[in-house]
Amino acid sequence: MSKQVHLRIDDSVYEALTDYTESAGISVQESVSFAIIQMLDKQRREMKVKSDFTFIDLFAGIGGMRLAFEKNGGHCVYSNEWNKYCQQTYFANFGEQPDGDITKVNAADIPDHDILVAGFPCQPFSIAGVSKKNSLGRATGFEDKTQGTLFFDVCRIIKEKRPKAFMLENVKNLCSHDRGHTFKVILESLDELDYDVFYSVLDGQNYVPQHRERIIIVGFDRKRYGHDIDFKFALTPVSPKPVIKDILDSSVDTKYTLSDKLWVYLQNYAAKHKAAGNGFGYGIAPVDGVSRTLSARYYKDGSEVLIQQKGKNPRKLTPRECARLQGFPDSFKIPVSDTQAYKQFGNSVVVPLITDVAGLIVKKLKKLDSSNKTN
């Protein structure tokens, strides 16, 4: 939903604006909207905010990890997300439009921060046959290993800003990608940056009614804290364990019910693959249990998480139910279409799980900082 605003501007300003929009290949509306957002961002950055620590939010999506670190007392000083629809949702909830293409961002321009947070995409890594002995400062260090991947941008920002700690999130398959070679390069690159690194595959079903395994990588600066850093993923799951019926609306629009055509197709598709010995097919979520993993393709047919209905075809989850399945609060605004919302929540994180991990990182940093002061 959008509002209309009528502006009166001088002829000279209008001419300059027209020239700019023509050369930039954007509309006057886009240009004015961007200028207003920039003004609001500037005002927000200039506000004095009390916080326990600062962090940046890279590959921010719609801000699930920002919610987690803010809940632990942090203040976000910079965010980056290229997708324009995610930017919309991010702005609606945080009053800040993230920067765009991270590959074009000068790391030195990013504000100093205590913790770097990133849900970086997993891209193929091109290894140039560089020997392990090459140091970080040389052209044949981690830059050769990760150049051309978005993980390289995380590394160059860590190298430039040297945060006290970082937390990276990715799909579970990152560990096995390219027979483990990708993950090996990631760990070696972070080690070369002189950080003690810890990682674990964690399942969101201990916090929300969804089986969702993700790898979490945490690092602490050895230059600041030394080599004897001990960190454990000592999580505190939600109790009692949530189930699907906890996130469902009592009344749902009929548009979310599968059409006869789609329902027949999904049943035939499942039967065909079952006969072939495959496990592919739709998934009816048990109301007293947990669902399959919600994915970004959910908007297509909702097949991985369907809700049984009495006397009707099954239905998809609503965008709000998807938000709850990922642990977002009901106060979280959804300003985009259902299709975009499904993509966004399917790509997001389990917020309470990340909140738990963030709390452990903050607790460890406080202990490390306290120890540094007494030494």
List per-residue pLDDT tens for the chain, 375 residues long: 556 666 666 566 566 666 667 665 667 665 555 555 555 555 555 556 788 999 999 999 999 999 999 999 999 999 999 999 999 999 999 999 999 889 999 999 999 999 999 998 866 654 433 333 344 444 434 555 666 688 999 999 999 999 999 999 998 888 887 788 888 989 999 999 999 999 999 999 999 999 999 999 999 999 999 988 999 999 999 999 999 999 999 999 999 999 999 999 999 998 887 777 776 789 999 999 999 999 999 999 999 999 999 999 999 999 999 999 999 999 999 999 999 999 999 999 999 999 999 999 999 999 999 887 765
176 and 248 together in one domain:
no
Are 170 and 119 spatial neighbours (Cβ–Cβ below 8 Å)? yes
Q: What is the CATH number of the domain that holds 79?
A: 3.40.50.150
The end-to-end CA distance of the chain, in Å, is: 56
- Residue 308: name the closest of 317, 319, 299, 296 by CA: 317
Helix (H) or strand (E) run with residue 11 in it: helix 11-24
Residue 18 to residue 13: CA distance in whole angstroms? 9
Q: What is the CATH number of the domain that holds 328?
A: 3.90.120.10
Are 118 and 58 spatial neighbours (Cβ–Cβ below 8 Å)? yes
39 and 61 together in one domain:
no
Which residue's entry shows tokens 């392990």? 132
Give me the pLDDT at residue 140, please: 38
198 and 143 together in one domain:
yes
Residue 354 to residue 55: CA distance in whole angstroms? 14
Helix (H) or strand (E) run with residue 344 in it: helix 338-346
200 and 268 together in one domain:
no
Q: Looking at the chain, how many residues does it have?
A: 375
- Residue 242: name the closest of 287, 306, 200 by CA: 287
* 308-311 long-range Cβ contacts below 8 angstroms, 24+ apart: 308/284, 309/257
Number of domains present in the structure of the chain: 3
Are 189 and 145 spatial neighbours (Cβ–Cβ below 8 Å)? yes
57 and 101 together in one domain:
yes
In eight-state DSSP terms, residue 227 is S
300 and 200 together in one domain:
no
Q: Residue 4 is encoded by which pair of tokens?
A: 């209309």
Q: Which of 76, 122, 155, 322 is catalytic?
A: 122
263 and 320 together in one domain:
yes
Q: What is the CATH number of the domain that holds 7?
A: 1.10.1220
The β-bridge relationship of strands 213-221 and 165-171 is antiparallel
32 and 57 together in one domain:
no
150 and 183 together in one domain:
yes
| pTM exceeds 0.75 for this model | yes
Give me the pLDDT at residue 131, please: 37
Residue 279 to residue 175: CA distance in whole angstroms? 23
154 and 66 together in one domain:
yes
Cβ atoms within 10 Å, residue 320: 18
84 and 214 together in one domain:
yes
* Residue 76 is a catalytic residue: no
The amino acid at residue 178 is D
Domain extent at residue 297? 244-346
- DSSP states of 64-133 as a string? HHHHHHHHTTEEEEEEE---HHHHHHHHHHHS-PPBS-GGG--GGGSPP-SEEEE-------------TT
Helix (H) or strand (E) run with residue 169 in it: strand 165-171
Are 269 and 304 spatial neighbours (Cβ–Cβ below 8 Å)? no
Residue 275 to residue 281: CA distance in whole angstroms? 11
36 and 138 together in one domain:
no
